Structure 1
Amino acid sequence: MNENVTAPLRARAEIDLAALKANVRSLRAHAPGAAFMAVVKADAYGHGMLPVARAAKEAGAEWVGTATPEEALALRAAGIPGRIMCWLWVPGGPWREGVEADLDMSVSGLWALREVSAAARELGRTARVQLKADTGLGRGGCLRADWPELVREALAAQAAGLVTVTGLWSHFACADEPGHPSIAAQLTEFREMVGYAEGEGVTPEVRHIANSPGTLTLPETHFDLVRPGIAMYGISPSPELGTPEDFGLRPVMTLKASLALVKHAPGGLGVSYGHHYVTPGPTTLGLVPVGYADGIPRHASGTGPVLIGGKRRTVAGRVAMDQFVVDLGGDEPAAGDEAVLFGPGDAGEPTAEDWAAASGTIAYEIVTRIGSRVPRVYVNGTSGAPDVRQADRAHTV
């Protein structure tokens, strides 16, 4: 939905589509021999699934990846062309719709293979499936002991015309921890499980295991396709690996709010629930109208950084459901002035990584948790018109 974004907004998450496209191109340069899957699960990590998928495709992504089939089906219904893969299925899922939409559907066990095969048989069509190997993450995927049976049944279903095995894939547990011994162990396991499947007659179009850290730092993991997630949004998968700038990436989301109130306060005033902050002397307080209902971490109470009037401030007291307070130290910005919670950091504003450190989590969670009450405002998305902005209040699926 388009809106007049020159009108004041309580809060907004500006999504820089030019930065996103540049990130896709930079990541592709790290893996020049592999196809690129733009991972847009969880509403594109909070950035807006459809605008991000379109921008990533424009930047050269051959594949789009989601967690749930519902996300993938929404992409197809919105007209996203080409290869779309989804991997988080449960029994009774929309297999028929997935076959009809020509999705690539992940299979981790026999129940899933049998359900997708039944859907294909009913439709009289061939389903596209990818077999997932659990190489050491201990989460989704088929363990080595069960792999021969899954491969055998998949080949039988393929011989019957029910499925085509388009891929073999897995996921790392610790690729964001340089030198972790599980990286080499998982890579060896993946090669051996792929080798077994291919030896039995599977001829996959793509083999893939590289996530963001794999794409950026482990070229031996690139195989036929890479699947960057968080790095596509300009956030480093791990501070230990390097900063976004180290990898030629730029943060895509900037979270802003308009000050709702600025007032003079005496010393000794308790601020917000529980009075965990008490003004040390006469000061000014600013009210920022976003809270944990908008995705601001309550764990950042007393620690979360904000840029107001060109200065870094800190959340004073507890983050509430809809708002939090900052001690302005006597400065007097006006109600309606801008508070920048995080962004690329160009103007001294905090980054998502700063908020992650302040709340004891990872930057993935900071951007992904920004809720639907915060409109996404898309900037730099139209060639030749960098100032065109679109606000999307219906960005979620």
Structure 2
Amino acid sequence: MNDTAHPPTAPLRARAEIDLAAVRANVRALRGRVAGAAVMAVVKSDAYGHGALPCARAAVEAGATWLGTATPEEALALRAAGLSPARARIMCWLWTPGGPWREAIEADLDLSVSGMWALAEVREAARQAGRPARVQLKADTGLGRNGCQPADWPELVAEALRAEAEGLIRVTGLWSHFACADEPGHPSIAAQLALFRDMIAHAEQRGLRPEVRHIANSPAALTLPESHFDLVRAGIAVYGVSPSAELGTPADFGLRPAMTLSASLALVKHVPGGHGISYGHHYATPGETTLGLVPVGYADGVPRHASGTGPVLVGGKWRTVAGRVAMDQFVVDLGGDEPEIGSEAVLFGPGDRGEPTAEDWAQAAGTIAYEIVTRIGTRVPRVYVNEVDEAGERPERAEGGERDTRDG
């Protein structure tokens, strides 16, 4: 998390308010949809920009028994912050040669292995650590990224069995990842499920006994019960964002967006008609009007692709980015309204107050809502609200984050 020198009560240039009660409620909603399967809360990329440690704690409080990260460094940081194996299993899946295998083994992480090179490095690290590694074998069932190809799967399974017999690893899971689960009815979904079942069957027939088998990401967890197996990996849904507008809104799934991004107007001024705005003068005022300066830009994660289209709530009305988004600021045409300098400009939030949502910004920028929340930069402090869980206990403060005094 990013540090800030401002106390929680001081006005902030900008803030990303993270509602931890929403995170907990989203995890509970997911658990209700996947009855019989465990929930992994994916907290990679600083919990999709929301703050890994506070969100991990909130997810565990709500019943997530697994946490997922991309890199081993992300997973090791969670362990170092006090998320012990007794509180949550943690899996990491994006490895490169020479990675911190031994440290991960000693931290009781579950390590994804997609090929023979990785299995060889795990075995050596386990010898050095003097304890077996927890390994999950990943199958490429059609996504074409990480994972073992079906043709190579028998060799990887056979070598994993040998490593188990040597006492160097324990295969705890078999897993894969969907390519198009956010596209209802896409033919690859059924094809990947069938291939995953075949690859599981091969591994189990040869003698592997995994604790968990999993392929479901957020869209599959929400819409494909046949994909749930023993565990679902929920990423964007944990933060209350729908995986795709085509599947439905967050409310359709009982989810609530956890992040609200806002800024304080830095300037309000009168300008004449025909006044060019921002670099390139791609916007000129149609007549005499007022302009509001919003002090965030693409260095803060506001997408430049939303120049001229990004929506902002100011003074109870939707405004649109006027001209280009600059590095540190952008302008909105207030149409003659004169809100006070310092008034709140809400870029996105849950939508309760009529403000835009992350999906609205995604549509404006021609991208996906995942990118909108994940890209919010380190200059924007995260301010956590509703930190007190339902038991009335306040978790220890997450390093580098601010705390709001409101309780849940």
TM-score range, shorter chain: over 0.9
> Match of 2:336, SS?
coil
Offset of 1:6 from its aligned partner?
1.6
> Match of 1:227, SS?
strand
> Match of 2:273, SS?
coil
Aligned pairs, number = 394
Summarize the alignment of residues 90-109 of structure 1 with structure 2, pairs less than 5 Å apart: 90-109=96-115
Offset of 1:122 from its aligned partner?
1.1
- 1:370 counterpart residue number: 376
- 2:179 counterpart residue number: 173
- 2:292 counterpart residue number: 286
Offset of 1:380 from its aligned partner?
1.0
Q: Which amino acid aligns with 2:45?
A: A
- C-alpha spacing 1:341/1:205, structure 2 compared with 1 (3 Å): same
- 2:27 counterpart residue number: 24
- 1:351 counterpart residue number: 357
Offset of 1:334 from its aligned partner?
1.0
What's the Cα RMSD here? Answer: 1.7
Summarize the alignment of residues 30-41 of structure 1 with structure 2, pairs less than 5 Å apart: 30-41=33-44
- 1:268 counterpart residue number: 274
> Match of 1:161, SS?
coil
Asked if the contact 1:5/1:389 (under 8 Å) is kept, the reply is: no
Equivalent of 2:58, from 51, 55, 58?
A: 55
Q: Distance in 1 between matches of 2:208 and 2:146?
A: 21
- 1:76 counterpart residue number: 79
Summarize the alignment of residues 1-397 of structure 1 with structure 2, pairs less than 5 Å apart: 4-81=7-84, 82-383=88-389, 394=400
> Match of 1:381, SS?
coil
Q: Which amino acid aligns with 2:68?
A: G
Offset of 1:47 from its aligned partner?
0.1
Q: Which amino acid aligns with 2:200?
A: V
- C-alpha spacing 1:393/1:262, structure 2 compared with 1 (3 Å): farther
Q: Distance in 2 between matches of 1:156 and 1:64?
A: 28
> Match of 2:220, SS?
helix
Q: Distance in 2 between matches of 1:229 and 1:190?
A: 21
Asked if the contact 1:380/1:389 (under 8 Å) is kept, the reply is: no
Q: Distance in 1 between matches of 2:278 and 2:323?
A: 6
Asked if the contact 2:54/2:398 (under 8 Å) is kept, the reply is: no
Structure 2: give runs of 5+ residues left out of the alignment: 402-408
Query: TM-score, with normalisation over the residues of structure 2?
Result: 0.94
Q: Distance in 1 between matches of 2:342 and 2:202?
A: 63
Q: Which amino acid aligns with 2:156?
A: L
> Match of 1:322, SS?
coil
Q: Distance in 1 between matches of 2:390 and 2:152?
A: 54
Asked if the contact 1:372/1:393 (under 8 Å) is kept, the reply is: no
Residue identity over aligned pairs, in percent, reads 77
Q: Distance in 2 between matches of 1:36 and 1:236?
A: 17
Q: Which amino acid aligns with 2:203?
A: A
Asked if the contact 1:271/1:278 (under 8 Å) is kept, the reply is: yes
Post-superposition Cα deviations, 1:325-380, rounded to whole Å, max 9, x if no partner, equal 00000000011000000000011100000000000000000000000100000001
> Match of 2:380, SS?
coil
Asked if the contact 1:379/1:389 (under 8 Å) is kept, the reply is: no
- C-alpha spacing 1:357/1:389, structure 2 compared with 1 (3 Å): farther
> Match of 2:263, SS?
strand
Structure 1 consecutive aligned stretches of length 4 or more whose deviation exceeds 2 Å: 1-4, 383-386, 388-395
Structure 1: give runs of 5+ residues left out of the alignment: none
Asked if the contact 1:5/1:391 (under 8 Å) is kept, the reply is: no
- C-alpha spacing 1:239/1:36, structure 2 compared with 1 (3 Å): same
Post-superposition Cα deviations, 1:81-135, rounded to whole Å, max 9, x if no partner, equal 2210000000010001101101000000000000011000111111000000000
Q: Which amino acid aligns with 2:151?
A: A
Query: TM-score, with normalisation over the residues of structure 1?
Result: 0.97
Offset of 1:5 from its aligned partner?
1.6
Q: Which amino acid aligns with 2:244?
A: S
Q: Distance in 2 between matches of 1:226 and 1:291?
A: 36
